[in-house]
Amino acid sequence: MKKSLFILLLLISTICIAQTSVVNYNQSNLAKRVTMDIKAEKIGLVLQKIGKAGGFYFTYNGALFARDSIVNINVRNKPVREILDELFNGTVDYKENEEYIILRYAVNHFSIEAESIVTAENLYSITGRVVDIQTGKRVKNASVYEKRLLQSALTDEEGFFSLKFKGEHSGIVLTASKETYRDTSIIFLSSIDIKPEGYDDPDKEKGTFMSNMLDNFKIGRWLTSSKQRIQNMNIPNFLTNMPLQASLTPGLSSRGSMSGSVVNKFSLNLVGGYTAGVDGLEMAGVFNLNKADVRYVQVAGVLNMVGGSTEGVQMAGVFNVVGKDANGAQLSAVYNHVKGNVNGIQMSTINYVNGFTEGLQLSAVSNTVNGNLRGFQMTGILNAVRKESNGMQISAVGNVALKDMRGVQFSGLFNYAKHNKGLQLGLINLADTSTGVSLGLINIVKHGYHKLSVSSNDLINANVSFKSGNANLYTIFMLGKNFVDNENIETFGLGLGHDFFAGRRFSLSTELTAQQLHLGRWDYANILNKFHLNFQLRLFKGFSVYGGPVFNYYVTEAPNDYVVASGYKSQIAPSNSKKINGNKAWLGWSAGFTLF
């Protein structure tokens, strides 16, 4: 036990020492510089031109401003943020999300008013209020935070906040954020404070493009507190990296209420944890919640829920949920859910992917891919692909491909493909159209091969066959009766056929059939196997005649002295038949006509 604990602590120490605390920001669209000269243009078109020049898009509510308002703009090498400030005169706030700049109503402005500043040895304490500049009212549920030290507080009903910082600090920078308000910052140097307008936040142009998809899941909202969700709405795009964090629950963390803004190299959560992401290893006794991306290894006793993408191995005792893409292995006992694409392996009772899947899905009940599949699906009940399937589907019950199927479908009961361009193996094979092969007891192509044949042959003078599938391979269901006194025979059977070539008038096909001959009793099996070579002539649309030689091979379990029922044919094989492996074989003929 002591040796195992020592190894675990050594691993944690190695991970922590090997990493450094780095703030990781992506390029900001608001910081891009634009040059343009526009006169008397509608503001909606001006925004389109700014977005085109910067390589991004604007998104906004149509009621935010009058899009047909006429504006003039003449700027040279100016940041997009400053251009927007001039256009909207502070009435609109800007948030970034990947390739978008989101314009939001933000006519309100507030300030941070310090009430008490206490400095002591290794302690810095600030209390104050957040106040609406225009109305003078105190603002509740505003986030007040220090980015560098990762400490924050929410204002109460009276706009009051209190923050304490341990250690020696030459300066503290507090930022206040809230929906519909413009962010404001204030710097404190010892007991001297500078007003917000006197401080220019160096990080204001840095965007992280974090989309908090975690809040879109009900269970994610249930496992986090209302204060954490308010914090996410107030400061959605601040993100930093740290080497280590530990949590008992999402509200009891070494990073406090700022845990949702921190990406950790190592995260240990006794019950559950809530972080911005992981870039190393995360373990939890019950659940892990991550706003953004997770890389390398994530393990939970019950649940892993990631708002961004995963790379590496994700394991959970019950289920895994990923808001974007999953690259690597996703393993759970009950359910795996990916809203984006998968490149790797999924193993669970049920697997679901909303996007493209390349790799392997293994499940006990079902695998579902809403996008394209390029890989392998295996399940106990049902595999389903909404778009193109390029690979293999194996199921004990059924496989479904709702668009092109270019691989293999193998099932114990049924296969369905909208456009079969591969191979179907199952008891029942269904397709809307088919240029591939369907091999099974029943093969039906909706817009394919449907023919009804009436024929006669050297043994049975009246036969009816239904043929379905396509020219590559079609299934034959057949019934027949020999209407001759004292030589009665009833028969039924199955077969497969193939058209080698089909011209407008002439075609050639081969068919292999097996049929049971009923000779008045069901005591013994009497199987007549046939190989047909049919030459077909199309007389007009929907009507053809055909004929050709047939090789017959008759296998019966009846003894040589068996007496058939009265009125039934006693000698099936003709006198000129040959014995092959103890069974009778002979050449015969078949001729008939085909409808449809």
Q: How confident is the model over 302-313, as pLDDT tens digits?
A: 999 998 899 999
- The correct answer on CATH 1.10.1740 for the domain covering 449-595 is no
The Cβ of residue 593 has, within 10 Å, a number of other Cβ atoms equal to 16
- Model confidence at 234: pLDDT above 50: yes
Long-range contacts of 277-282 (CB under 8 A, 24+ apart): 277/306, 277/308, 279/241, 280/15, 280/19, 281/15
pTM: 0.65
- Model confidence at 10: pLDDT above 50: no
pLDDT band with cut points at 50, 70 and 90 for residue 113: confident
Q: CA 502, 507, 509: angle at the middle one, nearest 5?
A: 100
pLDDT band with cut points at 50, 70 and 90 for residue 221: low
Strand partners, 29: none
- The CATH code that applies to domain 34-105 is 3.55.50.30
Between the CA of residue 197 and those of 134, 163, 200, 509, what are the distances in Å? 15, 22, 8, 88
Average pLDDT, rounded, for the chain: 83
Distance, in Å, from the CA atom of 420 to the CA atom of 239, rounded to the nearest integer, reads: 48
- Please provide residue 290's backbone torsions phi and psi, each rounded to the nearest 5 degrees: -135, 130
Three-state SS sequence of 176-191: EECCCEECEEEEEECC
What pLDDT does residue 527 have? 96
Which residues neighbour 516 within 8 Å (Cβ) at sequence distance 6 or greater? 491, 492, 493, 525, 526, 527
Between the CA of residue 464 and those of 53, 139, 594, what are the distances in Å? 72, 86, 10
What pLDDT does residue 112 have? 83
Distance, in Å, from the CA atom of 484 to the CA atom of 565, rounded to the nearest integer, reads: 15
Three-class secondary structure of residue 217 per DSSP: coil
Contact 397, 409 (CB under 8 A): no
What average pLDDT score do residues 149-174 get?
A: 79
Distance, in Å, from the CA atom of 188 to the CA atom of 174, rounded to the nearest integer, reads: 8
- Model confidence at 212: pLDDT above 70: no
Between the CA of residue 126 and those of 191, 198, 510, 557, what are the distances in Å? 10, 19, 92, 100
Contact 586, 552 (CB under 8 A): yes
Contact 335, 347 (CB under 8 A): no
Q: Which of 141-155, 221-235, 462-476, 494-508 has the lowest mean pLDDT?
A: 221-235
Q: Where are the beta strands (DSSP E) in 169-255?
A: 172-177, 181-182, 184-189, 192-194, 240-249, 252-253
Token pair recorded at residue 278: 């992981």
What pLDDT does residue 297 have? 95
- Model confidence at 81: pLDDT above 90: no
What pLDDT does residue 62 have? 67
296 burial via Cβ count (<10 Å: 0-12, 13-18, 19+): middle
Q: Which of 12-16, 177-181, 561-565, 590-594 has the lowest mean pLDDT?
A: 12-16
Strand partners, 394: 378, 410
| pLDDT tens by residue, 59-68 | 777 666 776 7
Tell me which residue of 268, 257, 259 sits closest to 15, measured CA to CA: 268
- DSSP 8-state symbol, 81: H
The number of residues in the chain equals 596
- Model confidence at 554: pLDDT above 80: yes
- Model confidence at 259: pLDDT above 60: no
What average pLDDT score do residues 204-217 get?
A: 50
Residue % of the chain over a pLDDT of 90:
44
- Selection from 17-26, 62-71, 479-488 with the highest mean pLDDT: 479-488
What average pLDDT score do residues 440-450 get?
A: 88
Distance, in Å, from the CA atom of 519 to the CA atom of 551, rounded to the nearest integer, reads: 21
Contact 34, 53 (CB under 8 A): yes
Edge-to-edge strands of the sheet including 184-189?
151-154, 143-146, 172-177, 184-189, 192-194
Tell me which residue of 461, 497, 457 sits closest to 477, measured CA to CA: 497
Domain ranges of the chain: 34-105, 110-178, 212-428, 449-595
What pLDDT does residue 96 have? 76
Which residues neighbour 150 within 8 Å (Cβ) at sequence distance 6 or greater? 240, 242, 255, 256, 258, 261, 262
